[in-house]
């Protein structure tokens, strides 16, 4: 069995041809491949250490198949889940980019783009949460971007396969990074869909500032920070993001799930609100410097003139009546 992903490049898995390695996470490699009809796909192959464990394979396949039933434009489409010889893999739509790669390349993103990506992710979450599925490992690497700019969530349920496996076997295995872990996950407490809003909050924080709110090389220290420390202000790091967006991020990052958004629809409502309040200045453009102040001075002066004209007219009327009555 191969232990390095490059050995698989140029090989076939089932009816898929593997062309190049895209990247790797804690327990799988991701390749660019092709279906027999030439359609490019992404192929996620379990690393041999895990593919060789029947219990892990069962969990992985079960969660992949559950995720494959999620049919939504903002959730990656899983095309097949299979085993070929010693390799366990699933295939999915190939995306042009990931949010993680974009932030690495371009640094913090413009606010309108952050809001658009947040809305897409939120729509995907609303659908999955409606089906009773929690992501548990939302982060910029798991937010992919299609060539038309649509954001799609990937790796739904995979974290559940891993954590369930760890719980039942005691095997120490961490997925990805603890930078996006909710306080309740850090404490090993039961969680619901609101853990995904915390991870989305960290993701938006990263997209807005280029940094995550908490960093430490020590896993336990990082977990403590998620549980206890208030996140540093995103606007201190990036003053041009709006107070409204900062408020949304803070609410997602609340330590207690009760202080976060209750559901994806509520969060979506706030995101749409932030976007709507931004639009007037973006679409019409800012007024020339000082014109607002000029308007503010002019408007009361004009209405004062109207009032005086009315008073003078009224007095003239009374005077005319008095003269006529004499
Ligand atoms: N369908 C896809 N299209 C394009 N890129 C993808 C696709 N799926 C995964 N990737 C990219 O491949 C890389 C490896 O993904 P993978 O899911 O294995 O690891 P991860 O999400 O970084 O970490 P982990 O899975 O350990 O939490 C990531 O950078 C990810 O963005
Ligand atoms: Mg991933």
Assign domain 97-278 to its CATH superfamily: Transferase(Phosphotransferase) domain 1 (1.10.510.10)
Pinpoint the alpha helices (H) of the chain: 48-51, 54-68, 99-106, 111-130, 158-169, 183-186, 194-209, 219-228, 234-237, 243-252, 264-284, 291-325
Task: Answer yes or no: is the C-beta of 137 below 6 A from any ligand 1 atom.
Answer: yes
pLDDT of res. 47:
87
Atom 13 of ligand 1, nearest CA residue: 23
Banded pLDDT at 93 (limits 50, 70, 90):
very high
Task: Answer yes or no: is the C-beta of 75 below 6 A from any ligand 1 atom.
Answer: no
Atom 20 of ligand 1, nearest CA residue: 25
Atom 19 of ligand 1, nearest CA residue: 25
| Distance (Å) from CA 30 to ligand 1 centroid | 6
Total length of the chain: 326
What are the DSSP calls for 45-74, one per residue?
EE-HHHHT-HHHHHHHHHHHHHHHT---TT
| Distance (Å) from CA 5 to ligand 1 centroid | 14
Task: Answer yes or no: is the C-beta of 74 below 6 A from any ligand 1 atom.
Answer: no
For the stretch 152-190, pLDDT in tens is 999 987 776 776 666 666 665 555 578 999 999 999 898
Q: What is the mean pLDDT of residues 207-232?
A: 96
Can you tell me whether residue 201 is helix, strand or coil? Answer: helix
State the ligand closest to the CA atom of 99.
1
pLDDT of res. 299:
40
For the chain, give every domain's residue range.
Answer: 5-93, 97-278
Q: What is the mean pLDDT of residues 203-231?
A: 96
Assign domain 5-93 to its CATH superfamily: Phosphorylase Kinase; domain 1 (3.30.200.20)
For residues 78 and 33, the answer to whether their CB atoms sit within 8 Å is: no
Q: Is pLDDT at 219 greater than 70 in this prediction?
A: yes
If we measure between CA atoms, which residue out of 294, 252, 287 comes closest to residue 271? 252
Higher pLDDT, 63 or 153: 153
From 30, 143, 185, the mutation candidate for ligand 1 (largest count of ligand atoms within 8 A of CB) is: 30
pLDDT of res. 21:
95
From 39, 104, 141, the mutation candidate for ligand 1 (largest count of ligand atoms within 8 A of CB) is: 141
CA torsion 199→201→204→208, rounded to 10°? Answer: -130
Ligand 1 atom closest to the Cα of residue 27 is 26
From 50, 80, 98, the mutation candidate for ligand 1 (largest count of ligand atoms within 8 A of CB) is: 98
For residues 111 and 271, the answer to whether their CB atoms sit within 8 Å is: no
Q: Is pLDDT at 287 greater than 50 in this prediction?
A: no
Burial class of residue 227, CB neighbours in 10 A (0-12, 13-18, 19+)? middle
State the ligand closest to the CA atom of 143.
1
| Distance (Å) from CA 154 to ligand 2 centroid | 6
Q: Average pLDDT of the chain? A: 85
pLDDT of res. 283:
54
| Distance (Å) from CA 162 to ligand 2 centroid | 13
Higher pLDDT, 51 or 120: 120
pLDDT of res. 253:
98
**pLDDT-above-70 percentage for the chain:** 79
Residues belonging to the active site: 137
pTM for this structure?
Answer: 0.83
Higher pLDDT, 211 or 311: 211
pLDDT of res. 53:
80
Task: Answer yes or no: is the C-beta of 23 below 6 A from any ligand 1 atom.
Answer: yes
Task: Answer yes or no: is the C-beta of 24 below 6 A from any ligand 1 atom.
Answer: yes
| Distance (Å) from CA 155 to ligand 2 centroid | 5
Q: What is the mean pLDDT of residues 63-84?
A: 89
pLDDT of res. 288:
42
pLDDT of res. 326:
59
């Amino acid at each position: 069995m191969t232990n390095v992903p490059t050995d698989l490049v140029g090989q076939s898995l089932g009816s898929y041809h593997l062309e190049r390695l895209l990247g790797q996470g804690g327990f799988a490699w991701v390749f660019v491949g092709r279906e027999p009809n030439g359609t490019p796909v992404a192929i996620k192959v379990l690393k041999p250490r895990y593919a060789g464990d029947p219990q892990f394979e069962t969990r992985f396949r079960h969660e992949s198949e559950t995720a494959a039933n999620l049919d939504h434009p903002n959730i990656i489409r899983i095309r097949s889940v299979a085993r070929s010889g010693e390799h366990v893999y699933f295939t999915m739509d190939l995306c042009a980019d990931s949010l993680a790669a974009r932030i690495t390349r371009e640094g913090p993103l413009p606010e309108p783009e952050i809001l658009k990506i947040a809305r897409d992710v939120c729509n995907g979450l609303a659908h999955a949460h409606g089906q009773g599925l929690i992501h548990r490992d939302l982060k910029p690497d798991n937010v992919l971007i299609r060539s038309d700019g649509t954001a799609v969530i990937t790796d739904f349920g995979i974290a559940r396969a891993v954590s369930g496996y760890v719980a039942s076997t005691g095997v120490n295995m961490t997925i990805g990074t603890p930078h996006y872990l909710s306080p309740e996950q850090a404490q090993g407490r039961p969680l619901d869909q609101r853990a995904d809003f915390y991870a989305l909050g960290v993701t938006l924080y990263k997209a807005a500032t280029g940094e995550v709110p908490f960093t430490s090389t020590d896993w336990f220290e990082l977990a403590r920070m998620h549980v206890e420390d208030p996140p540093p202000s995103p606007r201190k790091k990036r003053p041009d993001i709006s107070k409204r967006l900062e408020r949304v991020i803070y609410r997602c990052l609340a330590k207690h799930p009760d202080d976060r958004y209750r559901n994806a629809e509520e969060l979506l409502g706030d995101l749409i609100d932030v976007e709507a309040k931004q639009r007037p200045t973006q679409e019409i453009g800012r007024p020339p410097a000082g014109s607002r102040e000029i308007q503010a001075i002019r408007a009361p002066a004009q209405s004062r003139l109207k009032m005086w004209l009315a008073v003078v007219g009224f007095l003239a009327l009374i005077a005319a009546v008095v003269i006529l009555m004499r």
